Amino acid sequence: MTRSATIAAPELLGAELRIGPCSLLVCEVEAYIEDDEASHSFRGPTPRNTVMFGPPGHAYVYLCYGVHWCLNVVTGPPGTGEAVLIRAGAIWGGEALMRERRPKARTTDLLNGPGKLTAALGINHLHNGIDLLARGAIVALRPGIPVAPESVERSARVGITKAVDRPWRYSVPAASLGRPVA
DNA sequence: CTTCCGATATACT
DNA sequence: GTATATCGGAAGG
């Protein structure tokens, strides 16, 4: 995971993100690096973004618009402020509990946004900084379904107004990742 | 279907 | 005071 965010981001597609009985397969991500006006790390460390400058494979969780939790996977060597935002996932396990947490959501809307998937999985500030690759981690990132590099779509990042020209959003259709087992 | 808007922590001007 | 890596509900067509 000691790779730059733009390399790590497409490699995260198809990975399984699990917390308790709930899990998803990552199908949309965005890369953010230090030399990037759209990145929280652009102006250096702050109380909020310190985790971005720490070791790779850890979770950077922040509150967006004062309302929604968003989950990133820290990348790059320690000291570099890089991360990959998990933007969407395919339902993989624990669907009943995820629906309980988001009762109004339809199937295609359950995990199709960074704030939606953290709500469904129950991820919040308590998970900021944890090692997603550690054995027995509360929130764990593991190999899921392999995704062919040729099938990855690249596009402009969403919801930003700076550095819009950098095509650092990577995605595959949720339906291409297979069906939930549980 | 579409547009508009409120919520509101954190960081910056 | 203003902007932001968002979402869901209301209002209009």
Query: For A104-116, what is each residue's pLDDT tens digit?
Result: 999 999 999 999 9
Distance (Å, whole) CA A146 – CA A33: 25
Q: Residue A49 CB closer than 7 angstroms to strand B?
A: yes
- Please choose, from the candidates A76, A69, A73, the residue with its C-alpha nearest in 3D space to the C-alpha of residue A29: A73
For residue A32, give the 3-state DSSP assignment.
strand
Closest protein residue to C4 using CA and C1' atoms?
Answer: A65
Q: Residue A65 CB closer than 7 angstroms to strand C?
A: yes
Distance (Å, whole) CA A53 – CA A58: 10
Q: Residue A113 CB closer than 7 angstroms to strand C?
A: yes
In this structure, are residues A34 and A53 in contact, taking their beta carbons and an 8 Å threshold?
A: no
Query: For A119-159, what is each residue's pLDDT tens digit?
Result: 999 999 999 999 999 999 999 999 999 999 999 999 999 99
Is A1 a residue whose pLDDT tops 70?
Answer: no
What is the spatial distance, in angstroms and rounded to an integer, between the CA atom of A31 and the C1' atom of B8?
Answer: 26
Distance (Å, whole) CA A41 – CA A135: 28
Query: For A53-105, what is each residue's pLDDT tens digit?
Result: 999 999 999 999 999 999 999 999 999 999 999 999 999 999 999 999 999 99
Number of CB atoms found within 10 A of residue A127's CB: 20
Rounded to two decimals, the pTM is: 0.96
